[in-house]
Structure 1
Amino acid sequence: MQFRLLAVCLLLFLVSCNSTQTLEPIKVDIPRIRESKLIKKYQANSFEDSGIKTVKIDAKMSYKIGDSSHKLGLKFRIAKGEKIWMSADFLGIPVVKMLIEKDSVHYYNKFDKTYFEGSFEFIKELIGVNVNYGVLEKLFMGDMILNIASKKYNVDIHDNAYFFYDTKNEGYYIEGALYPFTFKTKSQVIEQVLSLNKFAAYYKTHQMVNEFLFPKVVELQANNKGKITVISMIYKDVTFDETLSFPYRIPKDCDKEIQLKSKKETKVDE
Protein backbone atom coordinates (compact mmCIF):
# COMPACT_ATOMS: atom_id res chain seq x y z
CA MET A 1 0.00 0.00 0.00
CA GLN A 2 2.79 2.39 0.90
CA PHE A 3 4.54 1.58 -2.38
CA ARG A 4 1.36 2.28 -4.37
CA LEU A 5 0.85 5.58 -2.54
CA LEU A 6 4.46 6.57 -3.24
CA ALA A 7 4.02 5.63 -6.90
CA VAL A 8 0.85 7.73 -7.20
CA CYS A 9 2.56 10.72 -5.54
CA LEU A 10 5.56 10.38 -7.86
CA LEU A 11 3.28 10.16 -10.89
CA LEU A 12 1.39 13.29 -9.82
CA PHE A 13 4.71 15.07 -9.29
CA LEU A 14 5.95 14.12 -12.74
CA VAL A 15 2.66 15.13 -14.36
CA SER A 16 2.71 18.46 -12.55
CA CYS A 17 6.32 19.08 -13.64
CA ASN A 18 5.50 18.29 -17.26
CA SER A 19 2.37 20.43 -17.05
CA THR A 20 4.38 23.35 -15.71
CA GLN A 21 6.74 23.18 -18.66
CA THR A 22 3.93 23.21 -21.24
CA LEU A 23 1.48 25.68 -19.69
CA GLU A 24 0.93 28.91 -21.59
CA PRO A 25 1.37 32.17 -19.63
CA ILE A 26 -1.85 33.40 -18.05
CA LYS A 27 -3.34 36.00 -20.36
CA VAL A 28 -4.15 39.29 -18.68
CA ASP A 29 -6.89 41.52 -20.05
CA ILE A 30 -4.79 44.65 -20.53
CA PRO A 31 -6.83 47.83 -20.93
CA ARG A 32 -6.19 49.90 -24.01
CA ILE A 33 -5.57 53.47 -22.88
CA ARG A 34 -4.41 56.60 -24.64
CA GLU A 35 -0.68 56.83 -25.12
CA SER A 36 -0.54 60.18 -23.32
CA LYS A 37 -2.33 58.69 -20.29
CA LEU A 38 -0.01 55.66 -20.32
CA ILE A 39 3.04 57.94 -20.28
CA LYS A 40 1.64 59.98 -17.36
CA LYS A 41 0.98 56.83 -15.34
CA TYR A 42 4.52 55.62 -16.01
CA GLN A 43 6.04 58.96 -15.00
CA ALA A 44 3.98 59.02 -11.79
CA ASN A 45 5.58 55.68 -10.85
CA SER A 46 9.14 56.22 -12.13
CA PHE A 47 12.27 56.69 -10.02
CA GLU A 48 13.47 59.58 -12.20
CA ASP A 49 10.32 61.63 -11.56
CA SER A 50 10.10 60.77 -7.86
CA GLY A 51 11.42 62.99 -5.08
CA ILE A 52 13.96 60.34 -4.05
CA LYS A 53 17.52 61.70 -3.92
CA THR A 54 19.63 58.77 -2.69
CA VAL A 55 19.24 54.99 -2.60
CA LYS A 56 21.08 52.43 -0.48
CA ILE A 57 20.67 48.74 -1.36
CA ASP A 58 21.93 45.52 0.20
CA ALA A 59 21.60 42.77 -2.39
CA LYS A 60 22.52 39.22 -3.26
CA MET A 61 24.03 38.60 -6.67
CA SER A 62 24.77 35.50 -8.71
CA TYR A 63 26.40 35.62 -12.10
CA LYS A 64 27.28 33.15 -14.79
CA ILE A 65 29.80 33.70 -17.57
CA GLY A 66 30.02 30.68 -19.86
CA ASP A 67 30.55 27.66 -17.60
CA SER A 68 31.75 29.73 -14.65
CA SER A 69 29.31 30.87 -11.94
CA HIS A 70 29.66 32.68 -8.62
CA LYS A 71 27.55 34.13 -5.81
CA LEU A 72 28.44 37.40 -4.07
CA GLY A 73 27.01 39.92 -1.68
CA LEU A 74 26.41 43.29 -3.32
CA LYS A 75 25.95 46.80 -1.95
CA PHE A 76 24.67 49.77 -3.96
CA ARG A 77 24.79 53.45 -3.12
CA ILE A 78 23.27 55.88 -5.58
CA ALA A 79 23.08 59.67 -5.58
CA LYS A 80 20.49 60.36 -8.26
CA GLY A 81 22.01 61.93 -11.35
CA GLU A 82 25.51 61.99 -9.86
CA LYS A 83 27.14 58.67 -9.00
CA ILE A 84 26.66 54.94 -8.57
CA TRP A 85 28.85 53.07 -6.08
CA MET A 86 28.96 49.26 -5.98
CA SER A 87 30.85 46.92 -3.69
CA ALA A 88 30.80 43.14 -4.13
CA ASP A 89 31.93 40.92 -1.27
CA PHE A 90 32.89 37.26 -0.91
CA LEU A 91 32.24 35.76 2.55
CA GLY A 92 31.78 39.31 3.85
CA ILE A 93 35.10 40.59 2.50
CA PRO A 94 34.91 43.35 -0.19
CA VAL A 95 36.67 42.10 -3.33
CA VAL A 96 35.36 44.26 -6.18
CA LYS A 97 34.41 47.93 -6.20
CA MET A 98 33.12 50.23 -8.92
CA LEU A 99 32.38 53.94 -8.83
CA ILE A 100 30.46 55.31 -11.81
CA GLU A 101 30.24 59.07 -12.18
CA LYS A 102 28.62 61.15 -14.91
CA ASP A 103 31.71 61.14 -17.13
CA SER A 104 34.04 58.48 -15.69
CA VAL A 105 34.30 54.90 -14.43
CA HIS A 106 36.57 53.63 -11.63
CA TYR A 107 37.00 49.92 -10.86
CA TYR A 108 39.22 47.43 -9.07
CA ASN A 109 39.17 43.67 -8.55
CA LYS A 110 41.14 42.06 -5.71
CA PHE A 111 40.69 38.61 -7.23
CA ASP A 112 42.93 39.31 -10.22
CA LYS A 113 44.59 42.49 -8.84
CA THR A 114 43.34 44.65 -11.73
CA TYR A 115 42.07 48.22 -11.81
CA PHE A 116 40.63 50.73 -14.27
CA GLU A 117 40.36 54.51 -14.30
CA GLY A 118 38.75 56.05 -17.35
CA SER A 119 35.76 56.28 -19.64
CA PHE A 120 32.50 54.41 -20.26
CA GLU A 121 34.32 52.34 -22.86
CA PHE A 122 35.04 50.04 -19.91
CA ILE A 123 31.30 49.34 -19.50
CA LYS A 124 31.06 48.59 -23.20
CA GLU A 125 33.84 46.00 -22.80
CA LEU A 126 31.69 44.30 -20.14
CA ILE A 127 28.20 44.32 -21.69
CA GLY A 128 28.87 44.76 -25.41
CA VAL A 129 26.91 48.00 -25.96
CA ASN A 130 27.91 51.61 -25.35
CA VAL A 131 25.91 53.45 -22.67
CA ASN A 132 26.13 56.61 -20.58
CA TYR A 133 25.58 57.32 -16.90
CA GLY A 134 21.86 58.05 -17.25
CA VAL A 135 21.18 54.75 -19.01
CA LEU A 136 22.99 52.77 -16.29
CA GLU A 137 21.13 54.51 -13.47
CA LYS A 138 17.81 53.76 -15.14
CA LEU A 139 18.74 50.12 -15.69
CA PHE A 140 19.58 49.62 -12.00
CA MET A 141 16.60 51.62 -10.70
CA GLY A 142 14.06 50.02 -13.02
CA ASP A 143 13.22 53.03 -15.21
CA MET A 144 12.77 52.93 -18.97
CA ILE A 145 15.85 54.02 -20.90
CA LEU A 146 13.58 55.14 -23.72
CA ASN A 147 12.31 58.69 -23.33
CA ILE A 148 8.75 57.63 -24.02
CA ALA A 149 7.46 61.15 -23.28
CA SER A 150 8.96 62.24 -26.62
CA LYS A 151 6.24 60.16 -28.35
CA LYS A 152 8.69 59.03 -31.03
CA TYR A 153 8.17 55.34 -30.39
CA ASN A 154 5.82 52.65 -31.63
CA VAL A 155 3.52 51.18 -28.95
CA ASP A 156 1.99 47.71 -28.92
CA ILE A 157 0.28 45.35 -26.46
CA HIS A 158 1.37 41.71 -26.22
CA ASP A 159 2.83 39.20 -23.74
CA ASN A 160 0.83 40.81 -20.93
CA ALA A 161 2.58 44.17 -21.25
CA TYR A 162 2.73 47.54 -23.02
CA PHE A 163 5.72 47.53 -25.39
CA PHE A 164 7.60 50.56 -26.76
CA TYR A 165 9.98 50.23 -29.72
CA ASP A 166 12.71 52.47 -31.04
CA THR A 167 14.13 51.45 -34.41
CA LYS A 168 15.49 54.89 -35.31
CA ASN A 169 18.45 55.08 -32.91
CA GLU A 170 21.48 54.89 -35.18
CA GLY A 171 23.14 51.50 -34.87
CA TYR A 172 20.80 50.18 -32.17
CA TYR A 173 17.38 48.60 -31.70
CA ILE A 174 15.83 49.45 -28.32
CA GLU A 175 12.71 47.97 -26.75
CA GLY A 176 11.00 48.50 -23.40
CA ALA A 177 7.92 47.00 -21.75
CA LEU A 178 5.65 48.16 -18.92
CA TYR A 179 3.57 46.02 -16.60
CA PRO A 180 -0.15 46.81 -16.74
CA PHE A 181 -1.80 48.30 -13.63
CA THR A 182 1.51 49.15 -11.84
CA PHE A 183 3.10 50.77 -14.92
CA LYS A 184 6.56 49.70 -13.75
CA THR A 185 9.22 48.51 -16.19
CA LYS A 186 8.94 44.81 -17.03
CA SER A 187 11.88 44.50 -19.41
CA GLN A 188 14.16 46.40 -21.76
CA VAL A 189 16.50 45.37 -24.53
CA ILE A 190 19.39 47.13 -26.27
CA GLU A 191 20.61 45.36 -29.38
CA GLN A 192 23.46 46.38 -31.66
CA VAL A 193 22.04 46.05 -35.16
CA LEU A 194 25.18 44.98 -37.02
CA SER A 195 26.50 42.47 -34.48
CA LEU A 196 25.45 39.77 -32.03
CA ASN A 197 25.83 42.17 -29.10
CA LYS A 198 22.69 42.43 -27.00
CA PHE A 199 21.90 43.57 -23.46
CA ALA A 200 18.61 42.94 -21.68
CA ALA A 201 17.17 43.69 -18.23
CA TYR A 202 14.19 41.90 -16.71
CA TYR A 203 12.40 43.20 -13.61
CA LYS A 204 10.72 40.06 -12.31
CA THR A 205 9.20 41.34 -9.06
CA HIS A 206 8.86 44.63 -7.20
CA GLN A 207 8.60 45.64 -3.53
CA MET A 208 7.01 48.56 -1.72
CA VAL A 209 9.56 50.86 -0.05
CA ASN A 210 8.22 53.98 1.68
CA GLU A 211 5.12 53.88 -0.54
CA PHE A 212 7.27 53.65 -3.68
CA LEU A 213 7.24 50.51 -5.83
CA PHE A 214 10.88 49.54 -6.35
CA PRO A 215 12.55 46.56 -8.11
CA LYS A 216 13.21 43.46 -6.02
CA VAL A 217 14.40 40.73 -8.42
CA VAL A 218 16.39 41.91 -11.45
CA GLU A 219 18.06 39.79 -14.11
CA LEU A 220 20.61 41.20 -16.55
CA GLN A 221 21.65 39.30 -19.66
CA ALA A 222 24.47 40.24 -22.01
CA ASN A 223 25.60 38.68 -25.27
CA ASN A 224 28.98 40.23 -26.03
CA LYS A 225 30.40 38.77 -29.24
CA GLY A 226 28.88 35.39 -28.44
CA LYS A 227 29.96 35.34 -24.78
CA ILE A 228 26.83 35.04 -22.62
CA THR A 229 26.70 36.64 -19.17
CA VAL A 230 23.69 36.33 -16.84
CA ILE A 231 23.52 38.35 -13.60
CA SER A 232 20.67 37.86 -11.13
CA MET A 233 20.20 40.33 -8.27
CA ILE A 234 17.82 40.37 -5.32
CA TYR A 235 17.44 43.80 -3.72
CA LYS A 236 16.91 42.68 -0.13
CA ASP A 237 17.18 45.85 1.96
CA VAL A 238 16.43 49.22 0.37
CA THR A 239 16.46 52.63 2.03
CA PHE A 240 15.92 56.09 0.54
CA ASP A 241 17.32 59.54 1.26
CA GLU A 242 20.04 58.65 3.75
CA THR A 243 23.24 60.70 3.86
CA LEU A 244 25.68 58.47 1.96
CA SER A 245 29.42 58.24 1.49
CA PHE A 246 31.10 56.73 -1.57
CA PRO A 247 34.48 55.39 -0.35
CA TYR A 248 36.81 54.37 -3.13
CA ARG A 249 40.58 53.84 -3.14
CA ILE A 250 42.51 51.39 -5.27
CA PRO A 251 44.42 48.91 -3.04
CA LYS A 252 48.19 48.90 -3.48
CA ASP A 253 48.23 45.26 -4.55
CA CYS A 254 45.86 45.99 -7.47
CA ASP A 255 48.66 47.02 -9.80
CA LYS A 256 47.53 45.64 -13.19
CA GLU A 257 45.86 48.34 -15.27
CA ILE A 258 43.10 47.12 -17.59
CA GLN A 259 43.72 48.08 -21.22
CA LEU A 260 40.68 48.62 -23.43
CA LYS A 261 40.33 46.97 -26.82
CA SER A 262 37.06 48.37 -28.14
CA LYS A 263 36.76 51.14 -30.69
CA LYS A 264 34.57 54.17 -30.20
CA GLU A 265 30.95 53.66 -31.34
CA THR A 266 27.59 55.44 -31.19
CA LYS A 267 26.29 55.67 -27.63
CA VAL A 268 22.83 54.66 -26.55
CA ASP A 269 21.21 57.82 -25.20
CA GLU A 270 18.08 58.14 -23.13
Structure 2
Amino acid sequence: MQFRLLAVIMLFFMVSCGAKKSVAPDVEIPHLRYSKLVKEYKANSFKEADFNTVKIDAKMSYKIGNSSQKLGLNFRISKGEKIWISGDFLGIPVVKMLIEKDSVHYYNKFDKTYFDGSFDFIKQLIGVDVSYAVLEKLFVGDLILNIEKNRFKMDISDRSYFLYDSGNKNYYIEAAIYPLTFKTKSQVIEQVFGESLFATYYKNYQNVDGFLFPKELSIKGKNNGKESIITIKYNDVKFNEDLSFPYKVPKDCDKPVILKPKENSESNE
Protein backbone atom coordinates (compact mmCIF):
# COMPACT_ATOMS: atom_id res chain seq x y z
CA MET A 1 0.00 0.00 0.00
CA GLN A 2 2.97 2.26 -0.45
CA PHE A 3 2.91 3.43 3.16
CA ARG A 4 6.50 4.67 3.04
CA LEU A 5 5.78 6.98 0.12
CA LEU A 6 2.51 8.02 1.73
CA ALA A 7 4.27 8.86 4.98
CA VAL A 8 6.47 11.39 3.27
CA ILE A 9 3.80 12.82 1.01
CA MET A 10 1.75 13.53 4.14
CA LEU A 11 4.41 16.04 5.06
CA PHE A 12 3.42 18.25 2.17
CA PHE A 13 0.73 18.15 2.05
CA MET A 14 -3.19 19.09 4.05
CA VAL A 15 -16.71 29.70 10.35
CA SER A 16 -18.47 28.34 13.24
CA CYS A 17 -20.21 24.92 13.26
CA GLY A 18 -18.79 24.08 9.85
CA ALA A 19 -20.32 27.06 8.07
CA LYS A 20 -18.25 28.34 5.17
CA LYS A 21 -17.26 31.89 4.41
CA SER A 22 -17.22 32.51 0.68
CA VAL A 23 -17.65 35.28 -1.83
CA ALA A 24 -21.13 35.53 -3.30
CA PRO A 25 -21.19 35.50 -7.12
CA ASP A 26 -22.53 39.06 -7.32
CA VAL A 27 -20.01 40.57 -4.88
CA GLU A 28 -17.36 42.64 -6.60
CA ILE A 29 -13.84 42.01 -5.35
CA PRO A 30 -12.28 45.35 -4.44
CA HIS A 31 -8.96 46.33 -5.99
CA LEU A 32 -6.34 46.75 -3.27
CA ARG A 33 -2.88 48.16 -3.21
CA TYR A 34 -0.24 45.47 -2.83
CA SER A 35 0.76 46.87 0.57
CA LYS A 36 -2.87 46.75 1.77
CA LEU A 37 -3.24 43.11 0.73
CA VAL A 38 -0.03 42.20 2.55
CA LYS A 39 -1.23 43.98 5.69
CA GLU A 40 -4.62 42.23 5.67
CA TYR A 41 -3.10 38.83 4.93
CA LYS A 42 -0.50 39.19 7.69
CA ALA A 43 -3.17 40.18 10.23
CA ASN A 44 -5.10 36.98 9.45
CA SER A 45 -2.13 34.59 9.25
CA PHE A 46 -1.36 31.84 11.72
CA LYS A 47 2.13 33.27 12.14
CA GLU A 48 0.66 36.35 13.80
CA ALA A 49 -1.98 34.46 15.81
CA ASP A 50 -1.61 34.17 19.58
CA PHE A 51 -1.26 30.38 19.56
CA ASN A 52 1.89 28.38 20.32
CA THR A 53 0.66 24.81 19.81
CA VAL A 54 -1.89 23.05 17.62
CA LYS A 55 -3.43 19.60 18.08
CA ILE A 56 -5.37 18.20 15.13
CA ASP A 57 -7.45 15.07 14.62
CA ALA A 58 -7.87 14.43 10.91
CA LYS A 59 -8.84 11.97 8.20
CA MET A 60 -6.96 11.52 4.97
CA SER A 61 -7.77 9.88 1.66
CA TYR A 62 -5.20 9.52 -1.07
CA LYS A 63 -4.68 8.24 -4.58
CA ILE A 64 -1.23 7.44 -5.92
CA GLY A 65 -1.43 6.06 -9.43
CA ASN A 66 -3.90 3.19 -9.25
CA SER A 67 -3.57 2.82 -5.48
CA SER A 68 -5.98 4.47 -3.04
CA GLN A 69 -6.47 4.32 0.72
CA LYS A 70 -7.83 6.12 3.77
CA LEU A 71 -5.95 6.82 6.98
CA GLY A 72 -6.55 8.51 10.30
CA LEU A 73 -4.05 11.24 11.17
CA ASN A 74 -3.06 13.02 14.35
CA PHE A 75 -0.99 16.21 14.14
CA ARG A 76 0.81 18.05 16.90
CA ILE A 77 2.57 21.30 16.08
CA SER A 78 4.75 23.49 18.25
CA LYS A 79 4.96 26.73 16.31
CA GLY A 80 8.39 27.22 14.79
CA GLU A 81 9.82 24.15 16.51
CA LYS A 82 8.46 20.74 15.51
CA ILE A 83 5.67 18.82 13.82
CA TRP A 84 4.58 15.36 14.97
CA ILE A 85 2.35 13.15 12.81
CA SER A 86 0.91 9.74 13.58
CA GLY A 87 -0.98 7.81 10.91
CA ASP A 88 -3.23 4.85 11.64
CA PHE A 89 -4.88 2.23 9.45
CA LEU A 90 -8.07 0.65 10.80
CA GLY A 91 -7.25 2.21 14.19
CA ILE A 92 -3.73 0.73 14.32
CA PRO A 93 -0.77 3.18 14.28
CA VAL A 94 1.43 2.34 11.30
CA VAL A 95 3.47 5.47 10.56
CA LYS A 96 4.99 8.10 12.79
CA MET A 97 6.99 11.20 11.89
CA LEU A 98 8.82 13.91 13.75
CA ILE A 99 9.82 16.96 11.73
CA GLU A 100 12.24 19.40 13.33
CA LYS A 101 13.91 22.55 12.06
CA ASP A 102 16.77 20.76 10.34
CA SER A 103 15.80 17.08 10.30
CA VAL A 104 13.13 14.53 9.39
CA HIS A 105 12.49 11.29 11.29
CA TYR A 106 9.96 8.60 10.50
CA TYR A 107 9.26 4.90 10.72
CA ASN A 108 6.85 2.56 8.99
CA LYS A 109 5.71 -0.58 10.78
CA PHE A 110 4.42 -2.20 7.59
CA ASP A 111 7.67 -2.36 5.65
CA LYS A 112 9.92 -2.14 8.76
CA THR A 113 11.74 0.92 7.43
CA TYR A 114 12.93 4.05 9.21
CA PHE A 115 14.65 7.29 8.30
CA ASP A 116 16.65 9.83 10.29
CA GLY A 117 18.18 12.61 8.27
CA SER A 118 17.78 15.77 6.24
CA PHE A 119 15.08 17.26 4.05
CA ASP A 120 16.99 15.98 1.01
CA PHE A 121 14.90 12.81 1.38
CA ILE A 122 11.73 14.75 0.65
CA LYS A 123 13.32 16.64 -2.23
CA GLN A 124 14.26 13.36 -3.92
CA LEU A 125 10.65 12.21 -3.72
CA ILE A 126 8.85 15.33 -4.95
CA GLY A 127 11.61 17.20 -6.78
CA VAL A 128 11.10 20.43 -4.82
CA ASP A 129 13.19 21.95 -2.03
CA VAL A 130 11.33 22.26 1.27
CA SER A 131 12.17 23.33 4.80
CA TYR A 132 10.53 23.09 8.20
CA ALA A 133 9.03 26.56 7.78
CA VAL A 134 7.45 25.61 4.44
CA LEU A 135 5.85 22.45 5.86
CA GLU A 136 4.42 24.23 8.90
CA LYS A 137 2.91 26.93 6.72
CA LEU A 138 1.29 24.34 4.48
CA PHE A 139 -0.37 22.57 7.40
CA VAL A 140 -1.74 25.74 9.04
CA GLY A 141 -2.76 27.48 5.81
CA ASP A 142 -0.15 30.23 5.58
CA LEU A 143 1.52 31.26 2.33
CA ILE A 144 4.95 29.84 1.56
CA LEU A 145 5.66 32.94 -0.50
CA ASN A 146 7.28 35.73 1.49
CA ILE A 147 5.00 38.46 0.19
CA GLU A 148 6.28 40.93 2.77
CA LYS A 149 9.91 40.70 1.69
CA ASN A 150 9.34 40.24 -2.04
CA ARG A 151 6.88 42.09 -4.23
CA PHE A 152 5.12 39.61 -6.49
CA LYS A 153 2.93 40.29 -9.51
CA MET A 154 -0.68 40.78 -8.44
CA ASP A 155 -3.98 40.35 -10.29
CA ILE A 156 -7.62 39.49 -9.57
CA SER A 157 -8.41 36.08 -11.03
CA ASP A 158 -10.99 33.35 -10.35
CA ARG A 159 -12.63 35.59 -7.72
CA SER A 160 -9.46 35.83 -5.62
CA TYR A 161 -6.29 37.87 -5.28
CA PHE A 162 -3.71 36.13 -7.47
CA LEU A 163 0.05 36.45 -6.81
CA TYR A 164 2.82 35.01 -8.91
CA ASP A 165 6.61 35.08 -9.19
CA SER A 166 7.76 35.81 -12.71
CA GLY A 167 11.46 36.12 -11.89
CA ASN A 168 12.34 32.52 -10.95
CA LYS A 169 14.06 30.72 -13.84
CA ASN A 170 13.69 27.22 -12.39
CA TYR A 171 10.21 27.19 -10.84
CA TYR A 172 6.83 28.71 -11.58
CA ILE A 173 5.36 29.87 -8.26
CA GLU A 174 1.85 31.21 -7.67
CA ALA A 175 -0.67 31.68 -4.88
CA ALA A 176 -4.27 32.83 -4.47
CA ILE A 177 -5.84 34.60 -1.47
CA TYR A 178 -9.55 34.65 -0.63
CA PRO A 179 -11.08 38.15 -0.44
CA LEU A 180 -12.96 39.14 2.73
CA THR A 181 -11.16 36.57 4.92
CA PHE A 182 -7.68 37.07 3.39
CA LYS A 183 -6.87 33.38 3.88
CA THR A 184 -4.82 31.23 1.52
CA LYS A 185 -6.84 29.67 -1.31
CA SER A 186 -4.06 27.83 -3.19
CA GLN A 187 -0.30 27.54 -3.65
CA VAL A 188 1.58 26.02 -6.59
CA ILE A 189 5.25 25.22 -7.23
CA GLU A 190 6.05 23.77 -10.65
CA GLN A 191 9.33 23.14 -12.42
CA VAL A 192 9.73 25.23 -15.55
CA PHE A 193 11.85 22.56 -17.21
CA GLY A 194 10.76 19.27 -15.71
CA GLU A 195 7.77 17.29 -14.48
CA SER A 196 7.70 18.14 -10.78
CA LEU A 197 4.59 19.81 -9.42
CA PHE A 198 3.42 20.49 -5.90
CA ALA A 199 0.14 22.27 -5.21
CA THR A 200 -2.16 22.77 -2.23
CA TYR A 201 -5.79 23.90 -2.27
CA TYR A 202 -7.64 25.10 0.84
CA LYS A 203 -11.31 24.43 0.10
CA ASN A 204 -12.77 25.92 3.27
CA TYR A 205 -11.94 27.11 6.76
CA GLN A 206 -13.41 26.63 10.24
CA ASN A 207 -13.63 28.99 13.19
CA VAL A 208 -11.47 27.78 16.10
CA ASP A 209 -11.33 30.11 19.10
CA GLY A 210 -12.04 33.08 16.84
CA PHE A 211 -9.37 32.12 14.29
CA LEU A 212 -10.04 30.76 10.79
CA PHE A 213 -8.10 27.50 10.46
CA PRO A 214 -8.14 25.14 7.44
CA LYS A 215 -11.04 22.66 7.40
CA GLU A 216 -10.20 20.75 4.23
CA LEU A 217 -6.91 20.65 2.35
CA SER A 218 -6.17 19.02 -1.01
CA ILE A 219 -2.63 18.27 -2.14
CA LYS A 220 -1.57 17.45 -5.67
CA GLY A 221 1.91 16.19 -6.43
CA LYS A 222 3.75 15.01 -9.51
CA ASN A 223 7.31 13.72 -9.71
CA ASN A 224 9.01 11.50 -12.26
CA GLY A 225 5.71 10.88 -13.99
CA LYS A 226 3.91 9.74 -10.82
CA GLU A 227 0.86 11.69 -9.69
CA SER A 228 -0.68 11.78 -6.23
CA ILE A 229 -3.83 13.44 -4.91
CA ILE A 230 -4.43 13.72 -1.19
CA THR A 231 -7.38 15.18 0.71
CA ILE A 232 -7.06 15.93 4.43
CA LYS A 233 -10.05 16.92 6.57
CA TYR A 234 -9.30 18.51 9.94
CA ASN A 235 -12.09 17.22 12.20
CA ASP A 236 -10.97 18.62 15.55
CA VAL A 237 -8.49 21.44 16.18
CA LYS A 238 -7.27 22.68 19.56
CA PHE A 239 -4.84 25.46 20.36
CA ASN A 240 -2.42 26.07 23.22
CA GLU A 241 -2.61 22.64 24.85
CA ASP A 242 0.42 21.14 26.61
CA LEU A 243 1.70 18.64 24.05
CA SER A 244 4.26 15.86 24.03
CA PHE A 245 6.05 14.62 20.91
CA PRO A 246 6.95 10.97 21.59
CA TYR A 247 9.12 9.32 18.98
CA LYS A 248 11.13 6.11 19.18
CA VAL A 249 11.87 3.74 16.32
CA PRO A 250 10.57 0.22 17.13
CA LYS A 251 13.24 -2.48 17.28
CA ASP A 252 11.68 -4.41 14.41
CA CYS A 253 11.94 -1.36 12.10
CA ASP A 254 15.50 -2.20 11.15
CA LYS A 255 15.69 -1.21 7.48
CA PRO A 256 17.22 2.26 7.06
CA VAL A 257 16.28 4.28 3.99
CA ILE A 258 19.41 5.32 2.10
CA LEU A 259 19.35 8.51 0.06
CA LYS A 260 20.45 8.43 -3.55
CA PRO A 261 23.68 10.32 -4.39
CA LYS A 262 23.03 14.00 -4.95
CA GLU A 263 22.90 15.17 -8.54
CA ASN A 264 24.14 18.54 -9.66
CA SER A 265 21.12 20.75 -10.04
CA GLU A 266 20.19 24.37 -9.69
CA SER A 267 18.48 25.50 -6.54
CA ASN A 268 15.07 27.12 -6.63
CA GLU A 269 16.13 29.77 -4.20
Q: What TM-score, normalized to structure 2?
A: 0.87
Q: Which has the higher contact order (CA 8 A, sep 6+)?
A: 2
- Which 4+ residue blocks in structure 1 deviate beyond 4 angstroms? 25-28, 264-269
Distance 1:179 1:50, change over 3 A: same
Query: Residue deviations 1:166-199, cap 9 Å, x none?
Result: 1324522211110011000000001122211010
Superposition pairs of residues 34-45 of structure 1, within 5 angstroms? 34-45=33-44
Equivalent in the alignment of 2:87:
88
Q: Structure 2 CA distance, aligned partners of 1:42 and 1:267?
A: 28
Name the structure 1 match of 2:131: 132
* Bigger Rg, which one: 1
**Offset of 1:261 from its aligned partner?**
2.3
1:186 is aligned to 185
Q: Which runs of 5+ in 2 are unaligned?
A: 1-23
Q: Contact 1:206/1:216 (CA < 8 Å) preserved in 2?
A: yes
Q: 1:26 to 1:261 in 2, by over 3 A?
A: farther
Q: State the SS of the aligned residue for 2:163.
A: strand
State the alpha-carbon separation in 1 of the partners of residues 103 and 26 from structure 2: 44
Give the distance between the partners of 1:122 and 1:128, measured in 2 at CA.
10
Could you say which residue in structure 2 is the equivalent of 1:174? 173
1:32 alignment partner in structure 2: 31
1:41-86 Cα distance to aligned partner (Å, 9 max, x none): 1011100111211100000001111000110000000001110110
Q: Which runs of 5+ in 1 are unaligned?
A: 1-24
Over residues 27-50 of structure 1, what are the superposed CA-to-partner deviations in whole Å (9 max), with x where a residue is unaligned? 752111111111111011100111
Aligned to 2:76: 77
Local SS of the residue matching 2:142:
coil
1:90-126 residue CA offsets vs partner (Å, 9 max, x unmatched): 1111100111100000011111111111000111233
1:150 aligned counterpart, secondary structure: coil
Equivalent residue number for residue 56 of structure 1 = 55
Structure 1 residues 213, 267: CA separation in 2 closer, same or farther (over 3 Å shift)?
A: farther
For the structure 1 residues 251 and 36, does the alpha-carbon distance in structure 2 shift closer, same or farther, using more than 3 Å as the test? same
In structure 2, the partner of 1:215 is 214
Name 2:148's counterpart in structure 1: 149
Q: Determine if contact 1:170/1:266 at 8 Å carries over to the other structure.
A: no
Alpha-carbon distance between aligned partners in 2 of 1:148 and 1:258, rounded to the nearest angstrom: 36
SS in 2 for 1:149: coil
Q: Which residue pairs with 2:103 in the alignment?
A: 104
SS of the residue 2:148 aligns to: helix
In 2: Cα distance, 1:240 partner to 1:68 partner? 34
Q: Hey, what does 1:224 align to over in structure 2?
A: 223
**CA spacing shift, 1:266–1:95, aligned 2, 3 Å:** farther
Residue 75 of structure 1 aligns to a residue in which SS? strand
Alignment of 1:115-126 (within 5 A): 115-126=114-125
Range 199-208 or range 147-156, more displaced: 147-156
Aligned residues: 245
C-alpha distance in 2, partners of 1:69/1:263?
A: 31
Which residue type is aligned with residue 92 of structure 2? I
CA pair 231-261 structure 1, distance change in 2 beyond 3 A: same
Distance in 2, matches of 1:225 and 1:167, equals 24
Q: Distance in 2 between matches of 1:163 and 1:254?
A: 45
Of stretches 68-77 and 148-157 in structure 1, the one that deviates more from structure 2 is 148-157
SS of residue matched to 1:148: coil
Task: Provide, for residues 213-249 of structure 1, a one-character-per-residue CA deviation record: whole Å limited to 9, x for no partner.
Answer: 0000000110011100111100000000111100001
Partner amino acid for 2:94? V
Q: For residue 239 of structure 1, what is the amino acid of its counterpart?
A: K
* Alignment-mate amino acid for residue 105 of structure 1: V
